[in-house]
Structure 1
């Protein structure tokens, strides 16, 4: 397996540890080795295996803006030059990178006391009444013990307030520690207020502090703060934060900086996501991951502390829904590192070049389909720069684009699994913007949309919010014990993207979140919520989620529940192959909802053959083509007179592709090609939103079949 690693922001990397998922060849069991471009074996650490993928950590050295193709194979590996370790010491865990050390204890949370220049560190939550709650650790466990990554996981509370969790990572040979801090609202009320959430890193008296952007750096002898409130453009090279305060400012820029002109937008005193505190015991660099994108946020230096205010008191009250969480990452570096912020925000990632076993999607063929590829690229950067939401609550998600009526301002909450489409796009193209967008969406799903705690309904924990203002909207729902208010809906519980991106990125937390959703779906099946009611998608999306989890984990509970859902769905299929849904006084037909269910059934067939399911998919696909279209060939959204627009949902294409695999009937491909460019979002429209990106989960597999059959032509140039 070949894996490409690119450096794309202009900062050289020396032995940077890369974490990447790699598809395993069929029947391969390892152990796995990584070879550099010269064929030499480099150190590698296996982190986990899941559904035909293995997550590996390995070092890569790259010049700025360079790339390297590595090879993953089997055999004995090389030992690391410097090893990271995690060792239990009673109830504590000792972490060591080979250069810096820390002890994580089950008491007041301070994993950074071992770093030179730091003392009396604390993480705290200030509630709406102004009471300060310090983070305390109740339990500490080792997740990875080295040799390249050593990691400890901590759980506890913010005093008597909200739940606390953290992950502390030691990286072999690094002069830094990474700390992921999480707050979880597990209070009993519907929402709770926070005045401030911060990490205060105590230091020796600070004689000077630095901040800056790229080659520019500024030194102050007085306290100053980087502030980001979301004003201006929040992504790209011009995304800098306001520098407030300071005194006796002097220039501390890189050599040669003033010999070059720069863009006017970068003139003046600006900062990004890092500060350096200069003390008598040496400099300390503090970097905040995605600082500007998670606004409002402050990063202050001065006196005897560096303060990271994830939610600053000056921003007003934060009202947080019960069950929601937020995770922020801080890197603390022993020494001065002006480019540590770029390294943290833009780590090296791996791109599988020939991912055997990955979903079958259209290859990246810009020379053959230049207009199609230009359309895809235009949509990507319309999404990345303007369509994907930013901010403490919203980063990673997207609004639905509705500007009138009761759904104005609703968030998308991963509508139609945009995350899955982003992961597919990254697999085929290697475009880093897709990876970063998917990472932000996955983090958002794991924090804001996932329900971490619920006193409203016992079955809700582990589910994901459907959508709404501030990502939550409660509606009446029926259960065997009566009506309840709930914010989840089985027609909106998308999980496949978390599974696939977890496998690509090598990040276990995404797979863990997907399992929580799957376990919730099993509970929802028990109360009858996975029947094809009120629409076929209420069976289809659970089938897609559970089959993805069954592939990834091999656990029978997911496959058994999927098979039970399929049996329910087959009982509701009409003699002509369709599934109907009640609208008012009429049982109506919706092509795209039928397509979602057909996709789920086809995914189940790929795991276990069942003649009844096979016949149902074949009949359902025939009905899509024969009964699901208007006379002009467009697909039926609904047959009611007021909903009879031409339905070009790419989820129909996804079902047609899988139906073609099953039946070989080229009419399915012809039906999905009819209409040409009208299948795609119009060029030059408003910025792409979550639903627009999600369409590619259907386009890419369908176009692959059409390409292989010799039926695909390029889009006409607009």
Structure 2
């Protein structure tokens, strides 16, 4: 009998979806399958459902670890359906008949979904060209541009230099074109564009990324616009709205917001204004006429709707409609100038929806809302049992209702307190005063990984929203895409700081990247779940930055800063282990080995690693916990007995009394000035692996003495797995 994986798909938006694209990574256990040919998908009736499958990772034994599956489904509003993946040596998948055709030559790429066709010039890229809907130019020979205004000069993508245009991916259900180049002549910023079309559908997805590769430390930008020219000005109506509340007019209008009172839900959106600047009023505070990031122009015969994902949170934003023109101002000129730091980028994702009727008949408001909320096939038990996420406590609300409630509440509170705005969205501000008061945290320490674990455990869509915001912020804002300082930092991720940047931090001169503040696990997990290549590339880029730090000795004791300790080795071990697992590239294994040998050589006789503060030498449970988690990852990758011995000696020290208060809780640092209760669960995480390799429940008893029950989405679930299996986890 074949093995079966059930996937529950819930329609979250409350709208009918027809032939909606679904893409999801699904893990497989070790030694289960060697070929994607032996996989098929069954619909809720038990019949084979057309799909495409490719592998994205393999286990060390050569068996498939992750597959990426593409298919389309029709599902009613708020319905829930169960699809099943069958796999095994006797399973054979039927060939998919597809209406999607792609022709690629040295001069152009032509895509036809059967509902929509378009052309892309590979030598002089200008976004979409020659768009036809149902065989007709629709609407009126659409043309597009992506422009940046600096001072009085406008730089256009259509007038810039094309670096590369290629067909990145194609299967029976989707095709993606990737293009890169510069804005204008002379050059101003770089662009990266992805255009994804779907079989049989009349809408497509576009990712528009601008990258600041200017040499000045900051560049001031007055306006960034995604232009859509329809070249028709008679008998057309513009429409926008929020939910079922639609505003339509034959006269020009715009909607705009500088900031938001509500960053999610039914009360969030932009105010709508007529051409003369008068506001379109609603009734009362909660019945305002709002726009949620989509705008349609249509008549009775044809139309086009542009919709932007996360439009509200990525403020300021403005959308302007005049008959024949839809302009999405990614940064409106009416706002103050955007002062963008060297090496930063930002991506905006839009839907371009063509239809052969008026806006109401085309249900443009429903499709725009659906575009904001992808379908997410879910099977929490399977994803964790596969082993792809390591040792993580499954979702057990009946057994541990208080713990699960606390994790859920932490997720919601994180959503409610997140930063907003074009630069800040997807990050968080460190509250309070002191040396780091007001710092952007840059998602320290790998919050992305924690959000992903919570989503996988529970299927929680709020957690997935946090994942999406954090992952794009990380690779756009925090990643160094260009530098005129030390080239070591190129491709790394910046440490926390004011406005996401801090130079000369942690004792490392002329860089904004340091070994104690870069992470790859969450990026690679997101890649495996979505198949998006940018996140794989970003993780590898961080891995390369780690290797340069290893070469300079930055990841090994003695550390550059006297107040630093072994987390400067722990995070590089964790980050390089994830990249090594994803790539099999032994350079990362050698980098890990170099770090391990230095850590082994400096381990104290008591099993710990010290930290210096002024004239005092002390110990920091948090940093030792991070280092031990790194040693655990290294041991997993190598099965090195020496690494296991160093790890277990460290666990004994961490579980002992030397770094605790009399009540059992851990200190932040053992030196006098810093003897405060440490509330994060970072010291607990390595005890999960310690129990896994030793089955010694006394280690868990020792760890529980220091547990403040504050919970940490990243570190806690691995410890909770061990405490649960040891029979020692208590809910209250």
Question: Which TM-score applies when normalising by structure 2?
Answer: 0.90
- Does structure 2 conserve the Cα–Cα contact (< 8 Å) formed by 1:426 and 1:434? yes
Structure 2 residue corresponding to 1:99, chosen from 89, 93, 115:
115
Q: Which stretches in structure 2 are left out of the alignment for 5+ residues?
A: 59-64, 133-137
Report the counterpart of residue 569 of structure 1 in structure 2: 599
Q: CA–CA distance in 2 between the matches of 1:670 and 1:382?
A: 30
Alignment-derived partner of residue 549 in structure 2: 524
The Cα shift of 1:130 comes to 3.3
Shift of 1:467: 0.8
- Unaligned runs of 5+ residues in structure 1 are 252-261, 682-694
For the pair 1:420 / 2:427, whether they are aligned, the reply is no
Q: Residue 75 of structure 2 aligns with which residue?
A: 62
**SS of the residue 2:221 aligns to:** strand
Closer, same or farther: CA 178–38 of 1 in aligned 2, 3 Å: same
| Partner of residue 37, structure 1 | 44
In structure 2, C-alpha distance between the alignment counterparts of 1:281 and 1:62, rounded to whole Å? 27
Moved more, 32-41 or 279-288: 279-288
2:699 pairs with 1:699:
no
CA–CA distance in structure 2, aligned partners of residues 220 and 573 of structure 1: 72
Residue matched to 2:29 = 25
Q: Distance in 1 between matches of 2:271 and 2:446?
A: 35
Residues 18 and 74, structure 2, Cα contact 8 Å, conserved in 1: yes
- How far residue 120 of structure 1 moved from its aligned partner, in angstroms, is 2.9
Residue aligned with 1:21, SS: strand
Which residue is equivalent to 1:330?
A: 350
User: Which is worse superposed, 148-157 or 530-539?
Assistant: 530-539
Measured after TM superposition, the shift of residue 473 of structure 1 is 0.9
Residues 1:134 and 2:150 aligned together? no
CA contact (8 A) 1:205 1:280 kept: no
**Bigger shift: residues 365-374 or 627-636:** 627-636
Q: Matched residues in 1 for 2:151 and 2:55: separation?
A: 41
**Is 1:311 equivalent to 2:324 in the alignment?**
no
Cα shift at 1:674: 2.5
CA contact (8 A) 2:19 2:72 kept: yes
Q: Is the 8 A contact 1:124 1:133 kept in 2?
A: yes
- Partner of 1:339, secondary structure, is helix
| Residue equivalent to 1:708 | 725
The within-5 A match list for 1:529-608 is 529-532=554-557, 533=559, 534-608=564-638
C-alpha change, 1:39 and 1:112, in structure 2 (3 Å) is: farther
Q: Report the counterpart of residue 506 of structure 1 in structure 2.
A: 531
1:691 aligns with none
Aligned partners of 1:396, 1:240: CA distance in 2, in Å?
A: 18
Q: Is residue 621 from structure 1 mapped to residue 656 from structure 2 by the alignment?
A: no
> CA 1:44/1:69 → structure 2, altered by over 3 Å: closer, same or farther?
same
Residue 46 of structure 1 aligns to a residue whose secondary structure is strand
Cα separation, 2, equivalents of 1:440 and 1:392: 11
How far apart are the structure 2 equivalents of 1:448 and 1:499? 18
Partner of 2:520: 495
Contact 2:238 2:323 in 1 (8 A): no
> Matches of 1:90 and 1:49 in 2, distance apart?
28
2:638 is paired with a residue whose SS is coil
Alignment length (residue pairs): 684
Deviation at 1:699, TM superposition (A): 1.0
Alignment CA distance shift 1:246-1:270 (3 Å): farther
Q: Structure with the greater relative contact order (CA < 8 A, sep ≥ 6): 1 or 2?
A: 1
- State the match for 1:688 in structure 2: none
Structure 2: how far apart are the matches of 1:347 and 1:476? 39
Partner of residue 53, structure 1: 66
Residue in 1 that maps onto 2:212: 185
User: Offset at 1:236?
Assistant: 1.2
The answer to whether the 8 Å contact 2:655/2:703 transfers is no
Give the superposition deviation at 1:113: 3.7
Residues 634, 476 of structure 1: alpha-carbon distance in 2 compared, 3 angstrom cutoff? closer
Q: CA deviation at 1:509?
A: 2.1
- 1:84 counterpart = 2:100: yes
Structure 1 residue 636: Cα displacement: 2.7
2:12 paired with 1:8: yes
| Matched-pair contact (CA < 8 Å) for 1:56–1:506 | no
Cα pair distance change 1:351/1:265, threshold 3 Å: farther
CA distance in 1 between counterparts of 2:100 and 2:419 reads 36
Aligned residue runs from structure 1 range 244-393, under 5 A: 244-245=273-274, 266-279=286-299, 282-335=302-355, 336=359, 337-353=364-380, 354-355=382-383, 356-357=386-387, 358-384=389-415, 386-393=416-423
Q: Secondary structure at the match of 1:512?
A: helix
CA contact (8 A) 2:665 2:706 kept: yes
Q: Work out whether 1:143 is the aligned partner of 2:173.
A: no
- Measure, in 2, the Cα distance between the counterparts of 1:161 and 1:490: 32
Alpha-carbon distance, 1:444 to partner: 0.5
2:503 to 462, 474, 480: 474
Specify whether residues 476 and 212 from structure 1 end up closer, same or farther in structure 2 by C-alpha distance, changes over 3 A only.
closer
Stretch of structure 1 that moved more, 274-283 or 534-543: 274-283
**Aligned pairs for 1:101-250 within 5 A:** 101-105=117-121, 106-115=123-132, 116-117=138-139, 118-135=141-158, 136=160, 137-159=162-184, 160-206=187-233, 207-245=236-274
SS of 2:572's partner is helix
Provide the rounded CA distance (Å) in 1 between the counterparts of 2:320 and 2:614.
Answer: 58
Counterpart in 2 of 1:254?
Answer: none
- Quote the residue 1:638 is aligned against: 669
Q: Distance in 2 between matches of 1:65 and 1:345?
A: 15
Q: Give the secondary structure class of the aligned counterpart of 1:636.
A: coil
Backbone CA RMSD of aligned residues:
2.1
Per the TM alignment, residue 140 of structure 1 is displaced from its structure 2 partner at its CA by 0.6
| CA spacing shift, 1:545–1:263, aligned 2, 3 Å | farther
427 and 263 in structure 1: CA distance in 2 versus 1, 3 angstrom threshold: farther
Rounded Cα–Cα distance in structure 2 between residues aligned with 1:113 and 1:312: 28
Report if aligned partners of 1:243, 1:269 keep a CA contact under 8 Å in 2.
yes
Deviation at 1:475, TM superposition (A): 1.5
SS in structure 2 of the partner of residue 440 of structure 1: helix
1:652 counterpart SS class: coil
Aligned in 2, Cα 1:10/1:35: closer, same or farther, shift over 3 Å?
same
Deviations 1:538-589, CA, capped at 9 Å, x for gaps: 0000100111111222222222211221111111111211111222222221
The whole-number CA distance in structure 2 between the counterparts of 1:413 and 1:675 is: 28
Deviation of residue 328 (structure 1)?
A: 0.7
Query: Which whole-Å CA distance do the structure 1 matches of 2:602 and 2:706 have between them?
Result: 31
**Alignment map for 1:445-464 (pairs within 5 Å):** 445-464=474-493
Distance in 2 between residues matched to 1:148 and 1:266, nearest whole Å:
41
Who is 1:257 aligned against?
none
1:82 CA displacement: 4.2
**Bigger CA drift: 546-555 or 158-167?**
546-555
CA distance in 2, matches of 1:561, 1:213: 52
SS of 1:59's equivalent?
A: strand
